[in-house]
Chains A and B, each alone.
Chain A
């Protein structure tokens, strides 16, 4: 029973990370109909920028965990916004009219560049880096199950962040503009919406979510690695597709579903836990074949 609780907690943490990444994919696809394949490496860039901020502040003698954590998150968000907006402005927007494959390849190469830059320019970057534990490590003993505070805090913050994104999209003028562009770019333009600005803001928004996913990954595993974004990106994209690209709720459901599949693959199935990703991706492919538009349904664009 305690073990089950542990697995459920681990699955929830993974699911939250995947959901945060998947929401980014789904937002980008919504406004621009593109797949931003360097998104996973943007996550890694966020985590390493946070680490850099931590090292710098420690160097200057700041040791209050709260201040450090805030600095880590701010630095991560700043780095991902810069990378995300640059990708949108100089790579994705200029080739909007080209075949989708070009965008895919260009962003894949951008991911390689970001990954290699982390490996080369971060001190000793080719090795996994220790990520500081900035959250309280105590917890509650619930019977045999030990509920850690840091996990609860991370899950709560992730949930709040997603809720905030949801409110931003559904309740604000900016969200209205984003939805208008997603529904019909031409009409949105004629209604006086600054298309380019909306796209850049959307990329910034998705990248901030990625920054939090990166910091969350670091705090949870106490370790970050320059190549961490590759698998995280593929999984985040698979999760977004699972739920239906362009659909915010779909991305969240997809993220948690993928984590659940991995957990089931690692725990309940009779083969080695190394095959958990094989199992999860296998199920994703079967689900995609059965429901090609995703579980919740892809945003249907109405074009004349």
Chain B
């Protein structure tokens, strides 16, 4: 294994980073930097959720938007038709996502590698088409969230600080789940399945059951992010919560950061979100937005030259620094 940074300095770095993130909206008062930080945390949450399924259990999902949309739509429909609090909607959305995840995992976990990935792409397209034609859920028009006052109970806030701390809490939850499961039996089973499923099976690992566990947890966390997104933007429609591009973005955050590592998705989100924002600020606007072209090209460059992700790059640099 590579030499690791000593435990103490790593803890110090993490504590410093956490303090910076928590203090961010107090230091930066403008809505734009606050918005960017919320997007970073949201993407970090989505990447962390993907990482449980894709990084640790090795099942590449390109359909995470299904779960994101399940969370967004469940909580919004409950709020609209039964005036149910988004906090209950958050849990309900997670439960709906778990049910969908198990329904997907049942047949699709018989497939491996890119076959599983393509199945999730196809399912994502199915979900988008189905919701677009589902009038009760707003169809192609989308849904506006009913706003009855703001405050923590409504999960809606007058300024971005409230949203910042809610998404921080959700991210901490996701990281805690990851740390806990990584060291538990499930984590070892997942890694065994990822490395060689047949060998894991023959060693007595109930592979299908543990893959279903991974997709359920991943789906539940992703759905929570979806509920949060709905409260933040106050409008949802299929192109915003169910597109293939969202599923790809989630996967990119984790893979470019470093799949299968705890901090990889955070690193990926911290690099990709500002990159995307910078390209759209510098090159977007005036109708001829080159931003997606440059963004896509940069991602290709990173992936071609650093296949193990930014965590790998960071480890190499820190190893070089500590040697000198």
B103-128 interface (Cβ within 8 A of A):
107-108, 110-115, 117-119, 121-123, 125-126
**Which chain A residue shows the least CB distance to B106?**
A289
CB-nearest residue of chain A to B289 = A120
Mark B238-263 against chain A: 1 for CB-CB distance below 8 A, else 0. 00000011001001100100010000
B282 at the binding interface (Cβ < 8 Å): no
- In A221-253, the 8 Å CB interface with B consists of 230-231, 234, 237-238, 241
Assess whether B133 is interfacial by the CB under 8 Å rule. Answer: yes
Query: A183 to B236, alpha carbons, bound, how many Å?
Result: 49
Asked if A272 and B133 make an inter-chain contact with CB atoms under 8 angstroms apart, the answer reads yes
- A108 CA to B117 CA, complexed, in Å: 13
**Beta-carbon contacts of B257-273 to A below 8 Å, as 1s and 0s?**
00100000000000000
Flag whether A100 is at the interface (Cβ < 8 A).
yes
* Interface residues on chain A, number (Cβ under 8 Å): 40
Among A94, A110, A284, A285, the one with the most B-chain Cβ atoms within 10 Å of its Cβ is A285
Q: Cα distance A109–B301 when bound, in Å? A: 10
A109 touches B299 (CB 8 A): yes
Most chain B CB neighbours (cut-off 10 Å) among A90, A100, A104: A104
| A185 interface hit (Cβ, 8 Å) | no
Instruction: Report A163 CB to chain B, min CB distance, Å.
Output: 28
CB-nearest residue of chain B to A90: B304
Indicate if the CB atoms of A116 and B110 lie closer than 8 Å. Answer: no
B311 within 8 A of A: no
- Residue A274 CB within 8 A of the other chain: yes
Q: B107, B126, B133, B288: which has the most chain A beta carbons within 10 Å?
A: B126
User: Would A288 and B115 count as touching, CB distance under 8 A?
Assistant: yes
A289–B130 contact, CB under 8 A? no
> Is the CB–CB distance between A234 and B122 below 8 Å?
yes
B126 is contacted by which of A100, A109, A117, A281 (Cβ under 8 Å)?
Answer: A281
Interface residues on chain B, number (Cβ under 8 Å): 42
Chain B interface helix/strand/loop/mixed: helix
The answer to whether A117 and B114 have CB atoms under 8 Å apart is no
How many A-B Cβ pairs are below 8 Å? 110
B304 pairs with A95, CB closer than 8 A: yes
Tell me, yes or no, whether B300 is within 8 Å of chain A by CB. yes
Set of chain A residues within 8 Å of B297, measured between Cβ atoms: 109, 113
Q: Which of A75-112 contact B (CB under 8 A)?
A: 90-91, 94-95, 98-102, 104-106, 108-110, 112
Q: Are A230 and B292 in contact (CB under 8 A)?
A: no
A275 in the interface, Cβ–Cβ < 8 Å?
A: yes
**Separation of A293 and B278 alpha carbons in the complex (Å):** 44
Q: Does B303 contact A (CB under 8 A)?
A: yes
Interfacial residues of chain B within 42-82, with CB under 8 A of chain A in the complex: 54, 60, 62
Interface residue from A116, A275, A285 paired with B119 (Cβ < 8 Å): A285
Tell me, rounded to whole Å, the shortest Cβ–Cβ distance linking A272 to chain B.
Answer: 6
Q: Among A35, A272, A274, A288, find the residue whose CB has the most chain B CB atoms closer than 10 A.
A: A288
Within 8 Å of chain A (Cβ to Cβ): is B204?
no
Chain A residues with Cβ below 8 Å from B289 are 120
Residues of A within 8 A of B (CB): 35, 90-91, 94-95, 98-102, 104-106, 108-110, 112-113, 116-117, 120, 230-231, 234, 237-238, 241, 272, 274-275, 277-278, 281-282, 284-286, 288-289, 292
Given contacts A288-B111, A289-B110, A292-B110, 12 further A-B contacts (CB under 8 A): A95-B304, A101-B54, A101-B117, A104-B60, A106-B304, A109-B296, A120-B293, A231-B125, A234-B122, A274-B129, A285-B119, A289-B108
